[in-house]
Amino acid sequence: MESVSLFAPASIANISCGFDVLGLCLDNVGDLMHLEKSNKPGFRITEIKGQDLPLETEKNVAGVAAQALLKAYKEPVGFKLKIDKRIKAGSGIGSSAASAAGAVVGINKLLGEPFSPLELISFAMEGERLACGSAHADNVAPVILGGFTLVRSLEPLDVIPLHSPLELAATVIHPEIEVKTADARAVLHNKIPLKKAINQWANVGALVSGLYQEDYDLISRSLVDEIVEPARAMLIPGFDQLKENATQAGALGCGISGSGPSVFALSKGMTNAHLVAKSMAEVYDKIGVPYEIHICPINPNGVQFIEPKNK
Ligand code: ADP
């Protein structure tokens, strides 16, 4: 095999109560990537369409993740990458994670799959380190494994794939404003009152149980964030109203996607997810914030190989 084309999906990290540990993979929004073997050892990005991002290997998350893989592979091999960037960087739906995960899954395929999914997550995390300063896995894990994932530990890396009910559907509204990950981190408090911590880990446990039992009421009761959302909500225009409208329209829960500014809602079934989308759009139509909306089931596959279109 000399080349592969792939779809590298967007993802939602945190999912209300699961700050830095839970993530899920989206289905209809993602980057397209084309990887080719090259006679020249090393990794090069030859083209990025759709967005103004650096081609230099060491400045692009895809390049940094690929270098981590090549370092572990040890033999001299060469690859070229073209990216059609469809996820806006800094949108809070794992733009950097998609590039990092797509690059390492694609190279692994071309090498005959010498690395395990967990190793691929660890390489992709190096890309995340470039994007936000720390090597977190809550976006790259669902992009590589598909579905819902829980990062139990970073050192040693321990990632648990979770059951994802088939009917669960996501709505994501992306207000076209910038929230810097650094700012979103800066508003967080370093100390958490014990009472809130107890509620939070009770909700994480209950959410995981709700996913396995396909108990949508339990999922709904558990989609609560007492720690991060109250601090970050002010960074997102109309957040309280979005949540209010989504809930009124039947969403199981609604919260901040990653570090924002995107806001997600989960619903039972695509019909509800569409109603929720409409109710959220009304908020931004009214206050005049430009936005885009994604509505999709949870993607059980993660990165997917596709027929090459425009190499
Ligand atoms: P998101 O939350 O949408 O993933 P991040 O804040 O994680 O956004 O990542 C975006 C940052 O990563 C931006 O500063 C962007 O310039 C940088 N970056 C470098 N390479 C890429 C890439 N291939 N795709 C997306 N972002 C990249």
Ligand 1 geometric centre to CA of 60 (Å): 8
What confidence tens digit (pLDDT) does each residue in 189-200 have?
A: 889 999 999 999
Strand partners, 22: 150
Is the pLDDT score of 311 beyond 50?
A: no
What confidence tens digit (pLDDT) does each residue in 242-297 have?
A: 999 999 999 999 999 999 999 999 999 999 999 999 999 999 999 999 999 999 99
Question: What percent of the chain is predicted at pLDDT more than 70?
Answer: 99
Ligand 1 geometric centre to CA of 53 (Å): 8
Total-model pTM: 0.96
Asked if residues 268 and 169 have their Cβ atoms less than 8 Å apart, the reply is yes
CA torsion through residues 58, 116, 118, 144, sign: positive
- What residue owns the CA closest to ligand 1's atom 7? 96
For ligand 1, residues with CB inside 6 Å are 53, 60-62, 89-97, 99, 131-132, 181, 258
- What residue owns the CA closest to ligand 1's atom 6? 90
Q: Which of 181, 214, 282, 292 is catalytic?
A: 181
